[in-house]
Structure 1
Amino acid sequence: MIVVGLLRKLAIDATNTAVEVLAEKIPSASTQLEKLKAREHEFSGKVKHKVYTYDGTPLSGLRKGKTFYSTVIIDPAKVGRLLYGEKLEDDDDSIALAYKGKPYGTFSTFNDIFREMALKGYTLRIKTKIVGMHDVGIPQVVAYMPDRDEVELWRDARSDIFGADGAEA
């Protein structure tokens, strides 16, 4: 009788543990599916890339060592105002990075892929970190990205899902 009770308790404990593990994993999977449908993606990796910071104001509340996600902006008006104070030509392939919706710098790595995917409706975010200061009010920022092959695989997988023109296949 005692053995049956112990086995029953072990079975209940194992079931509860399995349910807890699934509860943690399932929301994560559904969140990833929602992001895929919403065409959102966050890039992060171990390869460091330089970010050219032109306006430190959006980052003024962040300190050295702070990691945050920057949003890719391809709008020629916003990028141009950041860089030159005027709108860029529509065929210019420059991209800007923004924090909380405010552009602060540019990023030249993977411009072709990021422009392509942003034009297809993707919201792209890049893991970035303040590593020092260039000048008063102008932080030195680096982006942490996967290698180019991984980014290309990501793009190609989305092209297979949504088609070359960005429409659902």
Structure 2
Amino acid sequence: MGFLSWLFGSNRGKGKGRSQACTTESRPIPSPRRPVREEINIDGNCQTKIFTYLGVVFKGIKTGDEFYVDVVDHDVELHSRSTGTTIDTVEWGTTAVSYNGRVFGSLGSGLDYLKEVVAAGFRLRLKVKKVGMYSAGIPELAAMTIDTRALREWWDQQSKTSALIPINEANLLAAVDERREANRLRTISGRAGIEVTDESLMATLYPTRERWLGGDWPKRSAYFSPTFEVLPTREGSQAKPHILIRNGKTGLYEVSARNAKAYRTISENIDRPCKGRIACDYYDEGTDGVRIILVFESSVGGAEGTAELFHQASGEADEGGGLGDGTPGSPT
């Protein structure tokens, strides 16, 4: 059950073998906005640990039973007479919970802000399941809610408005994913030095010194305006043509179909406007690694004339190469 259960356990320290008791000292916390007095339902299948220190209130409840507890809408000071130890929910940054009017513990990480929800005027009862026994007299309890990411997203939105935000788990998780993707694209844009959006078509290549064609090995990152040349294959060869990436008249790197993802992205968008970046030490780790980052504009019509030429390449399995911020493959 964790540190709090150890701290308040009746079978530890000088409280060993004695029943537990506690006193509470309550201090109200300010409401973040005007109460709306709405009843909300956050029941679900996501389990979050509850730190329990007072077990006597759950006498008669069996493992597997589900029941409801109340979220305390203010901070409290919890004192165990059995150990002489005091826990302050302000200092611990947590929320106290009660059962049948008796405070018995606090919520684990992921639900520690629920006191703010109740203090704001929302009425809720927290569904709880007894999943076992932590120690003699101390049950192991878990809160049963919707996905905690969705619940946190709901409160982040709800705390900024007086209008009631519906608790729709699927929609809230979609908002979480959308924000995470936006953050990912901002990170890539910052590292690549090129704005990348969810509509961008991006290919990343990982040249080695042996395969680099652009003269001296790059030591500083630089932008360039890439052009592409499809190199002819030998007569009778079944190999797919290499694509030469140029900066002006200077060839930089040849891409083969073994760089499957990057090759497909380039071949399918070869006539679209493209921005290029030679990125040195991409992660700022003091290495001499180099990436070639290509970002094609997706709003411009594609190259229908080249689609047939690269038809087979576009069906290659995803092995080697890289797309977006993926893992480097073996350049050829």
TM-score tier, shorter chain, comes to 0.5 to 0.7
1:14-50 deviation per Cα after TM superposition (whole angstroms, max 9, x unaligned)? xxxxxxxxxxxxxxxxxxxxxx963333321111111
Q: Secondary structure at the match of 2:124?
A: strand
Structure 2 counterpart of 1:137, one-letter code: G
Structure 2 counterpart of 1:68, one-letter code: F
Q: Secondary structure at the match of 2:161?
A: helix
Scaled by the length of structure 1, what TM-score is found? 0.60
Q: Offset at 1:81? A: 3.0
Give the number of aligned pairs.
126
Corresponding residue for 1:81?
Answer: 79
Separation of aligned partners in 2, 1:131 and 1:87? 24
Separation of aligned partners in 1, 2:154 and 2:84? 32
1:80-127 deviation per Cα after TM superposition (whole angstroms, max 9, x unaligned)? 236975473756522112112212221122213x13212212333221
Corresponding residue for 2:162?
Answer: 161
Task: Indicate if the aligned counterparts of 2:53 and 2:104 stay in contact, CA closer than 8 A.
Answer: yes
Structure 2 counterpart of 1:127, one-letter code: K
Corresponding residue for 1:111?
Answer: 112
Separation of aligned partners in 1, 2:84 and 2:116? 23
- Change in Cα spacing, 1:87 to 1:135, as seen in structure 2 (3 Å) is closer
Q: Offset at 1:63? A: 1.3
Corresponding residue for 2:150?
Answer: 150
Structure 2 counterpart of 1:98, one-letter code: S
Unaligned runs of 5+ in 2: 1-34, 165-332
**More deviation in 87-96 or 123-132?**
87-96
Q: Offset at 1:132? A: 1.0
Separation of aligned partners in 1, 2:135 and 2:41? 29
Structure 2 counterpart of 1:129, one-letter code: K
Structure 1 counterpart of 2:54, one-letter code: D
Corresponding residue for 2:229?
Answer: none
Q: Secondary structure at the match of 1:127?
A: strand
Structure 1 counterpart of 2:123, one-letter code: T
Separation of aligned partners in 2, 1:56 and 1:140? 9
- Identity over the aligned pairs, expressed in percent? 24
**More deviation in 153-162 or 118-127?**
153-162
User: What is the root-mean-square deviation in Å for CA atoms of aligned residues?
Assistant: 3.0
Structure 2 counterpart of 1:93, one-letter code: G
- Change in Cα spacing, 1:137 to 1:119, as seen in structure 2 (3 Å) is same
Residues 55-94 of structure 1: pairs in structure 2 closer than 5 A: 55-77=54-76, 79-81=77-79, 86=86, 88=88, 93-94=93-94
Task: Indicate if the aligned counterparts of 1:74 and 1:118 stay in contact, CA closer than 8 A.
Answer: yes
Corresponding residue for 1:8?
Answer: none
* Structure of greater relative contact order (alpha carbons < 8 Å, 6+ residues apart): 1
- Change in Cα spacing, 1:125 to 1:84, as seen in structure 2 (3 Å) is farther
Q: Secondary structure at the match of 1:50?
A: strand
1:52-93 deviation per Cα after TM superposition (whole angstroms, max 9, x unaligned)? 11111111131111101111114333x523697547375652
Q: Offset at 1:129? A: 0.6
Separation of aligned partners in 2, 1:101 and 1:153? 29
Which structure's CA Rg is the greater one?
2
Separation of aligned partners in 1, 2:136 and 2:36? 41
Corresponding residue for 2:120?
Answer: 120
**More deviation in 129-138 or 150-159?**
150-159
Structure 1 counterpart of 2:43, one-letter code: S
Unaligned runs of 5+ in 1: 1-35, 164-169
Separation of aligned partners in 1, 2:122 and 2:85? 26
- Change in Cα spacing, 1:87 to 1:153, as seen in structure 2 (3 Å) is closer
Task: Indicate if the aligned counterparts of 2:73 and 2:116 stay in contact, CA closer than 8 A.
Answer: no
